[in-house]
């Protein structure tokens, strides 16, 4: 017999899971998502979340509380009399009363192989750390941060030049299939839960604006991982001397290349930039390089290096920072 579910999610990443659960025949009692946010150039338009829009197209009941801490919201949640709740990138803390507000509990789809990369930015952090593998995990939620027992997981390879956006899209599809399988097992009473190991836990903290700027004194693989881990959003960046002034340019794709020089030095006419050998001072401590493959000027569209250089005129010997 299909389950009666509450779905809780907000961004694009959550939508395939909502769609897959509904298509599998489960009853979606209500969809919880973040309230509409100001958008548009002037911030005057209120924009509904991707999950909100997807739910409305299916005629599902949508709730957008700013908090779940109040007794009234918690009672409204319990009154739905759901078998379980599915939580995917919702964005609000779930109090104990919510975690215990369904018959079978709350189940989270998390984009890492727990306990590695608990927290807000597991996809970006995995790439930035140079991980060669990650995956989707379905776990039963408890009061800790991504610490609940694991129900299912599926491993996903991270290619050497894969960017975060590509991994994000791959994980969306994997997560949808995995959550449907988990709910089918839960429905049959056959979902096994395994406590997470204590060792190997890491925290994927939210990406801050301060860390998006490229540090060219880092090694070439580290710079490459930094660029692809933040692409396309929020985007790694550096300043380039264009038209006699420093211009901020977003770096979207790169490859590790041969070359050496002072960190930040443009080595050729193909946008190959010298990197460092780790933390170093102002001396010429370069060892290795990255070649920028795709970049984006402020207010412009993403372009490949060849088209960028037609307008930027950034030649060998220039310095970026």
pLDDT tens string 206-255: 999 999 999 999 999 999 999 999 999 999 999 999 988 999 999 999 99
Lowest mean pLDDT among 110-119, 295-304, 305-314: 305-314
Spans of all domains in the chain? 4-203, 209-312
Rounded to whole angstroms, the Cα distance separating 66 from 227 reads: 34
Report the pLDDT averaged over residues 287-303.
Answer: 94
- The pLDDT value recorded for residue 225 is 98
Q: Do domains 4-203 and 209-312 have the same CATH topology?
A: no
Binding-site members are: 112-115
What is the fold of 209-312?
3.10.25
Percent of the chain with pLDDT over 70: 95
Inform me whether the pLDDT recorded for 61 exceeds 90: yes
Give the tokens for residue 312.
């930027």
Q: What crossing angle do the helices spanning 164-188 and 15-23 adopt, rounded to 10°?
A: 30
DSSP letter assigned to residue 195: P
Cβ atoms of 102 and 85 within 8 Å: the answer is yes
Q: Measure the CA dihedral 173/177/178/179, to 10°.
A: 100
- The pLDDT value recorded for residue 40 is 66
Report the pLDDT averaged over residues 36-40.
Answer: 83
- The pLDDT value recorded for residue 42 is 63
> What is the distance of C-alpha 40 from the center of its chain?
23
Rounded to whole angstroms, the Cα distance separating 171 from 321 reads: 33
Q: How many CB atoms lie within 10 A of CB 268?
A: 14
Give the tokens for residue 55.
């739910």
Inform me whether the pLDDT recorded for 267 exceeds 50: yes
Q: How many CB atoms lie within 10 A of CB 168?
A: 17
Report the pLDDT averaged over residues 79-86.
Answer: 98
Strand runs labelled E in the chain:
4-9, 27-32, 37-39, 45-47, 62-63, 84-88, 106-110, 118-119, 133-140, 150-157, 203-204, 236-242, 245-257, 272-274, 289-297, 303-304
Which residues partner with 120 through β-bridges? none
Cβ atoms of 287 and 277 within 8 Å: the answer is yes
- The pLDDT value recorded for residue 313 is 84
- The pLDDT value recorded for residue 39 is 77
Rounded to whole angstroms, the Cα distance separating 291 from 86 reads: 42
Report the pLDDT averaged over residues 289-309.
Answer: 96
Binding-site members for (6S)-5,6,7,8-tetrahydrofolate are: 112-115
CA distance between the termini of the chain: 60
Model confidence at 311, in pLDDT bands (50, 70, 90)? confident
Inform me whether the pLDDT recorded for 278 exceeds 70: no
* pTM, rounded to two decimals: 0.93
Mean pLDDT of the residues in the chain? 94
Q: Which CATH class is domain 4-203?
A: alpha beta
- The pLDDT value recorded for residue 284 is 44
Percent of the chain with pLDDT over 90: 90
Model confidence at 281, in pLDDT bands (50, 70, 90)? very low
Model confidence at 286, in pLDDT bands (50, 70, 90)? low
- The pLDDT value recorded for residue 213 is 98
Q: Indicate the helix (H) or strand (E) that contains 74.
A: helix 71-78
Phi, psi of 179 (to 5 degrees): -70, -40
- The pLDDT value recorded for residue 274 is 96
Closest CA to 32 of 3, 1, 71, 74: 74
Closest CA to 114 of 236, 11, 204: 204
Inform me whether the pLDDT recorded for 87 exceeds 60: yes
Report the pLDDT averaged over residues 293-316.
Answer: 93
**Cis peptide leading into residue 234 (ω within 30°):** yes
**Cis peptide leading into residue 308 (ω within 30°):** no
The owner of tokens 């037609």 is 310
């Amino acid at each position: 017999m299909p389950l009666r579910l509450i779905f809780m999610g907000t961004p694009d990443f959550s939508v395939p899971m909502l769609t897959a659960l509904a298509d599998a025949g489960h009853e979606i009692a209500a969809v919880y998502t973040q309230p509409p946010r100001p958008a548009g150039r002037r911030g005057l338009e209120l924009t509904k979340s991707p999950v909100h829009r997807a739910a409305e197209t299916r005629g599902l009941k949508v709730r957008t509380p700013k908090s779940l801490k109040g007794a009234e919201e918690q009672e409204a949640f319990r009154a739905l009399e759901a078998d379980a709740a599915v939580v995917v990138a919702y964005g609000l803390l779930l109090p104990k009363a919510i975690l215990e507000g369904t018959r079978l509990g709350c189940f989270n789809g998390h984009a890492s192989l727990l306990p590695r990369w608990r927290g807000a930015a597991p996809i970006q952090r995995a790439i930035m750390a140079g991980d060669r593998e990650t995956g989707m995990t379905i776990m039963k939620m408890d009061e800790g941060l991504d610490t609940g027992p694991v129900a299912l997981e599926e491993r996903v390879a991270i290619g050497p030049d894969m960017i975060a956006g590509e991994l994000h899209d791959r994980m969306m599809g994997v997560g949808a299939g995995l959550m449907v399988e988990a709910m089918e097992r839960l429905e049959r009473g056959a979902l096994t839960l395994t406590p997470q190991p204590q060792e190997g836990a890491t925290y994927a903290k939210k990406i801050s604006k301060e860390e998006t700027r490229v540090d060219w004194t880092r090694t070439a693989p580290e710079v490459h991982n930094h660029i692809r881990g933040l692409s396309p959003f929020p985007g790694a960046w550096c300043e380039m001397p264009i038209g006699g002034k420093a211009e901020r340019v977003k770096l979207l794709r790169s490859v590790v290349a041969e070359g050496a020089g002072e960190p930040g030095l443009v080595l050729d006419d193909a946008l190959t930039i010298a990197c460092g050998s780790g933390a170093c001072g102002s001396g010429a401590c370069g060892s290795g390089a990255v070649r920028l493959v795709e970049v984006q000027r402020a207010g412009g569209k993403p372009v490949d290096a060849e088209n960028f250089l037609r307008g930027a005129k950034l030649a060998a010997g220039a310095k970026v920072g």
